[in-house]
Chains A and B, each alone.
Chain A
């Protein structure tokens, strides 16, 4: 009993959770690799598929390797994780959205003209 409580703050998973996480991660990695190397999907379908596999692997590793949802700090670990995911979403999706719009509204001719003006006619 004392052995269990003594290691409570630093407790992790079991052999089983690490092995499961390892096998799941290898499977997901190989699956994503095969989707690309065998040309099974193309275009946006492929992008969504491999990004989906990466996100599944993220949660598999958070659960099996980082033991999210266990340990004494599980509540605050989870809260900071959610906050981080929100900020990451805003940074990544916002940047892509804004830059895509800039590209869309600026034709190559306008861009060349602008760059020539800025560079002093190079």
Chain B
């Protein structure tokens, strides 16, 4: 069985599978390089986090409760994104659209909370211009927020595509890439929550 499969030329289906798995691997490599980008921003933040030049530090500025709400919202959206993928694999279009919609709303809520936090900090005189600590904070958390925004735009277009052209092979592949991206953003946020908010709140 194995031998005959290796001898004959690949069928169209196998070639397509091969192409899909290459695309997914390529996207995985992109995600790994994005991790390196975030690592450099984390390193910058870790180095600069005490350079407040007399201004308030992380303990005074951030609310642990607020950050926990953001974390749980993004974590739940990561889970519902997984449910959308499960639905896509069983070719259930309505369910895919429902779970993508739920994921989108939670991601949007998360982004709203983040922008609200930025706004409150900036109007109370703690903008990125104040000191090295705040510059590093806005850059790190803002870059994550930018990724979330990109993910939301992508999710919106995917919902339109799925609603329009259904769950073909290409849309399933795109949904798989989108879910990789969304889970990755949740993992980056775990480290922002731990290093910026929890360590900041504990004053260490």
**Which residues in A have some Cβ–Cβ distance to B below 8 Å?**
5-15, 18-19, 21-22, 25-26, 29, 32-33, 35-37, 42-44, 46-47, 50-51, 53-54, 57-58, 61-62, 65-66, 71-73, 76-77, 80-81, 83-84, 87-88, 91-92, 94-96, 99
Contacts and interface: CB of A to CB of B under 8 A. Distances in A.
Where chain A touches its partner, the secondary structure class is helix
Contacts, number: 151
A95 B176 contact: no
B183 A61 contact: yes
A18 B86 contact: yes
Contacts of B163: none
Contacts of B39: 87-88, 91-92
A83 to B, nearest CB: 7
A12 B75 contact: no
Nearest first, the 4 A-B pairs at minimum CB distance are A9-B20, A95-B43, A18-B82, A88-B39
B28 A73 contact: yes
A15 B86 contact: yes
Contacts of A44: 204
Contact of B46 (A9, A54, A92): A92
Interface of B: 13, 17-18, 20-21, 24-25, 28-29, 32-33, 35-36, 39-40, 42-44, 46-47, 64, 68, 71-72, 75-76, 78-79, 82-83, 85-86, 89, 169, 172-173, 176, 179-180, 183-184, 186-187, 190-191, 193-195, 198-199, 201-202, 204
